[in-house]
């Protein structure tokens, strides 16, 4: 089956979420620098990163499909060579590119992916017994119309109060190291969660309701799962 969505993210969780809806997904990681700007809000941070991821991959695709028409785009969003060929959008195949970024926010502090187990332990101690926000920014680009939409979705998550021994055992499971906030709501980490207010899939990494709604508004009727 032809690729319906290009996912500008290496996250296996985002890919799995989209495939559960029936989409055929090809992953092309963007490999951009994920550095927060001074005084940048969490919402603006994830929206900027999601858009940057998406448009970086868009430029790679356009250079592969018809390079003579993408010099302006390449100047705006320089990118390395695309890893593998993608069917031309002119042939009615690849049209949609999605980029996303997720952060955990506790108070005013953004918790990204821990660099080691000590930082993972520190994050989980901070989250214990408290309410935090999970914010995902996502960008959808229509290669056919050269237009995109960007949105950020926030979900409130309350942790149960964790014993030091629970944190130690959870870190030993191995889920913490590639997750914002050092936990996986879709894995063993589900038992850490007392309650969720908002989108569950947003906490996993991509708010499916809002993503599909935006795709519908942008005209992706031929590949939607309903």
Question: What CATH topology corresponds to 5-218?
Answer: Maf protein (3.90.950)
Q: Where are the alpha helices (DSSP H) in the chain?
A: 12-20, 42-65, 71-76, 117-127, 164-173, 200-204, 208-218
Token pair 């050269």 in the structure block, residue: 146
pTM of the model: 0.85
Q: Which of 150, 62, 146 is nearest to 101 (CA)?
A: 150
Active site residues: 101
User: In the beta sheet, which residues pair with residue 158?
Assistant: 131, 195
Distance CA 162, CA 195 (A): 14
Read off the pLDDT of residues 182-212 as tens digits, 9 standing for 90 and up: 999 999 999 999 999 999 999 999 999 999 9
pLDDT at 216 over 90: yes
Tokens of 192: 């850490």
Read off the pLDDT of residues 78-116 as tens digits, 9 standing for 90 and up: 333 333 334 444 444 689 999 999 999 999 899 988 999
Please give the residue that has the higher pLDDT: either 80 or 144.
144
């Amino acid at each position: 089956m032809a690729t319906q969505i290009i996912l500008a993210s290496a996250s296996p969780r985002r890919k799995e979420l989209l495939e559960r809806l029936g989409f055929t997904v090809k992953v092309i990681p963007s490999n951009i620098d994920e550095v927060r700007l001074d005084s940048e809000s969490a919402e603006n941070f994830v929206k900027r990163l999601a858009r940057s991821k998406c448009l970086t991959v868009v430029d790679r695709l356009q250079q592969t499909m018809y390079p003579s028409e993408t010099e302006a785009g390449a100047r705006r969003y320089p990118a390395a060579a695309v890893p593998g060929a993608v069917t031309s959008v002119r042939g009615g195949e690849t049209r949609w590119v999605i980029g996303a970024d997720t952060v955990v926010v506790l108070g005013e502090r953004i918790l990204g992916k821990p660099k080691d187990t000590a930082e993972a332990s520190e994050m989980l101690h901070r989250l214990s017994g408290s309410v935090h926000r999970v914010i995902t920014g996502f960008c959808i680009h229509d290669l056919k119309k050269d237009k995109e939409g960007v949105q950020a979705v926030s979900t409130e998550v309350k942790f149960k109060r964790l014993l030091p021994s629970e944190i130690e055992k959870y870190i030993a499971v191995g889920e913490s190291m590639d997750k914002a906030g050092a936990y996986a709501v879709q894995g063993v980490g589900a038992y850490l969660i007392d309650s969720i207010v908002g989108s569950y899939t947003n906490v996993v990494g991509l708010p499916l309701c809002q993503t599909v709604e935006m795709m519908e508004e942008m005209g992706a009727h031929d590949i939607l799962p309903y």
